[in-house]
């Protein structure tokens, strides 16, 4: 009897072990799946929601309400090149998983773009569900009442502080008091970049300060890198990565120069109606991507990069152009129409937290 057990044990054990090893390999392959390299394919089952199902889309992203005549751009689905499972966004499943939890986007209007995309996608998946939308200063809170899920937006364009002093408005690269309201949130998605290159009247600061040194200006990429490092050390010391999902939205690209997508006659994204075919973008990546990646790579607490730059670079057709905030006289090739490209950023976010 004892001999039999031993014999069975000997025979079963290798089988058992190899099953575990195979399972582990499958898990490793799954978790290494690259969602960020791929191509856009036409899929009539997209978009995930009709614009009229989302009455709270803000004017600046509501391209169809603003008169954009073409709709082909809403019917593209992102297809990662690797044969990994990349699920369609399931709003009910997302709300169930996040029941009682809070999500916060922190950043500039590209964060607002992604926040609106998420609230639209979730609301349209359960249109009968009650919600409230409130705004207190720079904080917007969209609550799915029955689920107790809060989807928030903290408008904070530099992540570090801008303070008013006697000499003027000072951008303090090593001060991050605004971070207080990020505590206690279950899922954080940060972003900053677009405001670092602002100059002239739309630049919301007069001086830059680092330690005791005050500057009129400095290399903007350097300032961006220092501020990101300030943010990184705040995350390293104040966030418990076992309790909080941490993401960085990544660098959302603009389309103002057709040479970069091999169409030199195009001076902007106006009248672009289809994505760039294939998986690569002639113009390459904006330099800010490398700076961001180097800061994230050195962090003690891991922050997952939503590396959406390349997939969005391919979407020269996805911007409001003359159907955005300032209408026909404006030109917006930086933000994204909704429904549109940020829905895919959220689909990737969904697949990453599954
Ligand atoms: C929404 O709120 C109303 C009024 O409070 C309530 O009657 C209704 O049942 C709620 N809807 C859902 C889906 O719970
Ligand atoms: C567009 O990009 C090309 C290639 O980098 C560059 O040579 C050209 O100066 C750019 N045009 C504008 C208007 O910035």
Tens digit of each residue's pLDDT (9 = 90 or more) over 91-134: 999 999 999 999 999 999 999 999 999 999 999 999 999 999 99
- pLDDT at position 8 is 41
Q: Is 332 an annotated catalytic residue?
A: yes
The per-residue pLDDT for 277 is 97
pLDDT at residue 312, as a whole number: 98
**Phi-psi map region of 15: left, alpha, beta (phi>0 left; psi -120 to 50 alpha):** alpha
Q: Please determine, for residue 10, whether its predicted confidence score (pLDDT) is greater than 70.
A: no
The mean pLDDT of the chain is: 92
Residue 89 has pLDDT above 60, yes or no: yes
Q: What's the CA-to-centroid distance between 260 and ligand 2, angstroms? A: 8
Work out the pLDDT band at 329, boundaries 50, 70, 90.
confident
Average pLDDT over every residue of 253-277: 97
pLDDT of residue 2: 38
Contact 153, 111 (CB under 8 A): yes
pLDDT single digits (tens) 191-242: 999 999 999 999 999 999 999 999 999 999 999 999 999 999 999 999 999 9
The yes-or-no verdict on residue 57 having pLDDT over 90 is yes
Instruction: Report residue 290's pLDDT band, with 50, 70 and 90 as the boundaries.
Output: very high
Dist CA 2 CA 13 (whole Å): 16
Question: Quick check: is 128 catalytic?
Answer: no
pLDDT (average), residues 22-34: 57
Contacts of 336 (CB under 8 A, 6+ apart): 61, 113, 252, 312, 315, 318, 319, 320, 342
Nearest Cα residue to 104 out of 159, 153, 68, 66: 153
Mutate to test the pocket of ligand 2, among 253, 257, 281 (most ligand atoms within 8 A of CB): 257
**Structure-block tokens of residue 166:** 């006697």
Domain parsing of the chain, residue ranges: 39-353
Evaluate if residue 4 carries a pLDDT over 50.
no
Q: For atom 8 of ligand 1, which residue has the closest CA?
A: 130
- Give the pLDDT band (50/70/90) at residue 11: very low
Kindly report the pTM of this predicted structure: 0.91
Residues forming a β-bridge with 151: 103, 142
70 or 4: whose pLDDT is higher? 70
Catalytic residue among 245, 255, 319, 335: 335
Among 255, 256, 259, 285, the mutation site with the greatest number of ligand 2 atoms within 8 A of its Cβ is 259
Question: SS3 letters for the chain?
Answer: CHHHHHHHHHHHHHHHHHHHHHHHHHHHHHHCCCCCCEEEEECCCCCCCCHHHCCCCCHHHCCCCCCCCCCHHHHEEEEECCCCCCCCCCHHHHHHHCCCCEEEEEECHHHHHHHHHHHHHHHHHCCCCCEEEEEECCEEEEEECCCCEEEEEEECCCCCEEEEECCEEEEECCCCHHHHHHCCCCEEEECCCHHHHCCHHHCCCCEEEECCEEECCCCHHHHHHHHHHHHHHHHHHHCCCCCCEEEECCCCCCCCCHHHHCCCCCCCCCCCCCCCCCCCCCCCCCCHHHHHHHHHHCCCCCCEECCCHHHHHCCCCCCCECCCCCHHHCCECCCCCCCCHHHHHHHHHHHHHC
Please name every residue paired with 162 in a beta bridge, in sequence order, or none if there are none. Answer: 171
Average pLDDT over residues 316-325: 97
Distance 151 CA to ligand 1 centre (A): 19
> Which band of pLDDT confidence, cut at 50, 70 and 90, is reported for residue 90?
very high
* Domain 39-353 belongs in CATH node 2.40.50.140: no
Can you give the pLDDT at residue 327?
A: 82
**What band does 84 get if pLDDT is binned at 50, 70 and 90?**
confident
Ligand 1 neighbourhood includes 129 CB (under 6 angstroms): yes
Round to whole Å and give the CA distance between 329 and 70: 19
Q: Is 146 in the pocket of ligand 1 (CB under 6 A)?
A: yes
Indicate left, alpha or beta for 202 from its phi (over 0: left) and psi (-120 to 50: alpha).
alpha
Count of CA atoms in the C-beta half-sphere (13 A) of 328: 1
- Tens of pLDDT, residue by residue over 152-200, are 999 999 999 999 999 999 999 999 999 999 999 999 999 999 999 999 9
pLDDT of residue 33: 86
Strands 304-305, 245-248: pairing is parallel
The pLDDT score that the predictor gives to residue 1 is: 36
What was the pLDDT predicted at 326? 86
pLDDT exceeding 70 applies to what percent of the chain?
Answer: 91
* Distance of alpha carbon 166 from alpha carbon 263, whole angstroms: 49
Residues touching ligand 2 (Cβ under 6 Å) are 257, 259-260
């Amino acid at each position: 009897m004892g001999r039999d057990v031993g014999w069975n044990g000997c025979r079963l054990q290798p089988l058992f072990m190899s099953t575990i090893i195979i399972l582990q390999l499958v898990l490793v392959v799954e978790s290494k799946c690259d969602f960020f390299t791929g191509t856009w394919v036409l899929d009539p089952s997209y978009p995930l929601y009709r614009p009229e199902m989302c009455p709270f889309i803000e004017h600046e992203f509501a391209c169809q309400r603003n008169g954009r005549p073409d709709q082909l751009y809403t019917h593209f689905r992102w297809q990662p090149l690797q044969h990994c499972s990349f699920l369609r966004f399931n709003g009910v499943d997302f709300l169930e998983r996040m029941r009682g939890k809070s999500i916060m986007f922190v950043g500039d209007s590209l964060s607002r773009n992604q926040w609106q995309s998420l609230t639209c996608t979730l609301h349209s998946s359960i249109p009968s569900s009650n919600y409230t939308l409130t705004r207190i200063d720079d904080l917007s809170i969209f609550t799915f009442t029955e689920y107790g899920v809060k989807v928030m937006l903290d408008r904070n364009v530099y992540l570090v502080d801008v303070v008013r002093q006697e000499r003027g408005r000072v951008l303090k690269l090593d001060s991050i008091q605004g971070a207080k309201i990020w505590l206690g949130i279950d899922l954080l998605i940060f972003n900053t970049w677009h405001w670092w290159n602002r100059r002239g009247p739309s630049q919301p600061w007069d001086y830059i300060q680092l330690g005791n040194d005050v500057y009129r200006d400095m290399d903007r990429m350097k300032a961006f890198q220092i501020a990101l490092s300030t943010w990184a050390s705040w995350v390293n010391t104040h966030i418990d990565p076992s309790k909080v999902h941490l993401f960085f939205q990544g660098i959302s690209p603009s389309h103002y120069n057709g040479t970069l997508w091999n169409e030199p006659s195009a001076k902007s994204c106006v009248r672009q109606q289809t994505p760039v075919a294939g998986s690569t973008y002639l113009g390459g990546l904006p330099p800010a991507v490398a700076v961001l990646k180097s800061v994230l790579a050195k962090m003690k607490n891991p922050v997952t990069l939503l590396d959406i730059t390349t997939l969005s670079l391919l979407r020269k057709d996805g911007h409001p152009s003359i159907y955005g905030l300032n209408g026909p006289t404006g030109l917006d090739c930086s933000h994204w129409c909704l429904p549109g490209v940020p829905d895919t950023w959220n689909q990737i976010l969904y697949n990453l937290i599954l």
